[in-house]
Structure formats: structure tokens, C-alpha cells
Amino acid sequence: MTDAALTFTDLTLGYRGHAAVHHLSATILRGSLTAVIGANGSGKSTLMKGIAGILRPLSGSCTMQARRLAYLPQQSEIDRTFPARVVDLVSLGFWQKTGLLGRRSRADRDRLEGCLEAVGLLGFENRALDSLSGGQMQRALFARTMLQDADLILLDEPFNAVDQRTIRDLVDLTRQWVTEGRTVLCVLHDHALVSQYFPQTLLLARRPVAFGPTEMVVTPENLRRAQTFHEAWDEDARWCDGAAGARGEDLANHGADIRKVAARV
């Protein structure tokens, strides 16, 4: 039995024939906590959608060994004007277990309450989603994720526009999931947070720039290289040829630098 939760094999993802993430090969181990970083437009959300099965690979493959997946999309993709209450949103976490209209047992209701309590939203059950602050909405989404009881969890910029205390609470919750043996991939921009809490990091610039222990990935040299790749990117490029999906530096040589190290927490 392999210890991998997720395996990328020469994975290329994109939209209508335009590649947005090129030639990613890496193994994410079970029970690991990985930060996914990179500039705006570097392909982070595209990778999350590829893992979640929303986008099919243009080439290569993404194989999930985990049984159950939870995906928290980037906030900008969530419609908060939908007329629903906190309890409706969080209950969506039951969907994989009982279906949307399935009956909830006493134990289910207790679990839901436990998740709301864990994120500090007990008493908010009947609040309309559009009345929540950004941080409260994020807490509700974490409660839903928690309820899903997934062994692979994808979080796309979950700490955006939330205050320090909420970030700390949600990071603690995320680390708790990892100690329970779950695998977490989290997209974020705050490098200080990444260095403090995330043992391993994948740095993207439309292609993988570096992957491995955070202290070896989040370095001035790698960040400079990522910036160079990003700025050299041709938005109108039709397709990629090996690693030559962008212009500028000798990208093919950098491909060999990617470390397929997946440190356990």
C-alpha cells in the first residue's frame, strides 16, 4: 500500500486548449500539510480545480488515493447572495454521507453543533449568509469542510480578508485535521504564515518552480525565479512544448530542480 494521498504525473491543466499549469510531477503524502503559493494567475486555483475533478487534465494525470475529498473554493467564486442560512451552508457538509435531503439523526445534529462550536459560530445557525462578516463566512465554510470528514482537504485562499485572530483559529483547526491523519493542500499568499505553519510548499508560476520542505522552497532565489517566469509568460501561448510554455529564462533546466520531497508533519 502506498503512502501517497495524491500523485501528479506530468500534469498539465488549462482552459480551452490554453495551458495554465504545466508539467507538474509530485507526490503528496498522506497526513501532510502543503502550502501552494505563487503570484496572481500562476495557476493555484487551476490546480485545485484539477484535483477536485472540476477540470480534466489536458495531458498527464492527477491520481487521488484518498477516499473522500473536501474542496473550499476561493471566496470570489462563492455566491453569498443566495438566500440561505448558516445552518443550510454548513449542512451541505453532510451531502456525501446522506444526500441533500437525507434525514439527520440526533448524532448528525450533534456533529453539526460540534463543528459550529469548533469555529466559534454556535448561535449563528439561523443567520442569513449575506449578513455575515467575511471572517464569519470563512468560519462557516470551515465548519462545512469539517463536517465533510474528508481525508483530502483543499483550501483555496481561506485566510483572505480575515483578521489575525480568525487566521490563528482556522490555522489551528487545519493543523488539527493534519494530526488526525488528513492531508491538506492550502493556497495562500502570506509567506510569513507559510514559513511558520506549513512544513512543505509548492511554488507555482504556471509551472512548478519548487516543491519540498518550506525552508528550501520559500527562498529569495526561488521567489525571484517564480517572478521571472511569471513576467515572461505569454498569455496567448496556444500550447506548451515540454517546459517551454513561457519565454525568458532557460526553463527546461529548472524543471530538474523540483524536489519530489513530501515531508510528513
Closest to ligand ATP by CB, 48 or 143? 48
Residues facing residue 36 across a β-bridge: 187, 202
Burial of 215 (0-12, 13-18, 19+ CB in 10 A): exposed
Q: How far is the CB of 109 from Mg ion (least distance, A)?
A: 34
Closest to ligand ATP by CB, 55 or 129? 55
Closest to ligand ATP by CB, 119 or 209? 209
Closest to ligand ATP by CB, 40 or 126? 40
**Which 62-101 positions form the footprint of ligand ATP (CB under 6 A)?**
74
Per-residue x/- track, 15-54, ligand ATP (CB under 6 A):
x----x-----------------x-xxxxxxx--------
With a CB cutoff of 8 Å and minimum separation 6, the contacts of 82 are 129
Distances (CA, A) of 160 to 135, 163, 204: 9, 9, 19
Q: Give the residue from 113, 130, 131 showing the smallest Cα distance to 122.
A: 113
Q: Give the residue from 17, 16, 23, 15 showing the smallest Cα distance to 245.
A: 23
Closest to Mg ion by CB, 116 or 204? 204
Taking the alpha carbons at both ends of the chain, their separation in whole angstroms is 20
Residue 12 binds to Mg ion (criterion: CB under 5 A): no
Q: Which does 50 bind (CB under 5 to 8 A by kind): ligand ATP, Mg ion, none?
A: none
The sign of the torsion formed by the CA atoms of 144, 147, 148, 151 equals: positive
Q: How far is the CB of 156 from Mg ion (least distance, A)?
A: 6
User: What is the grid cell recorded at 139?
Assistant: 468560519
Q: Which does 38 bind (CB under 5 to 8 A by kind): Mg ion, ligand ATP, none?
A: ligand ATP
Q: How far apart are CA 177 and CA 223, in angstroms?
A: 29
**Which 244-263 positions form the footprint of Mg ion (CB under 5 A)?**
none
Q: Give the residue, chosen from 45, 138, 148, 201, that forms a contact with Mg ion under the rule CB under 5 A.
A: 45
**Which 179-238 positions form the footprint of ligand ATP (CB under 6 A)?**
none
Closest to ligand ATP by CB, 22 or 30? 22
- What residues line the site for ligand ATP (CB under 6 A)? 15, 20, 38, 40-46, 74
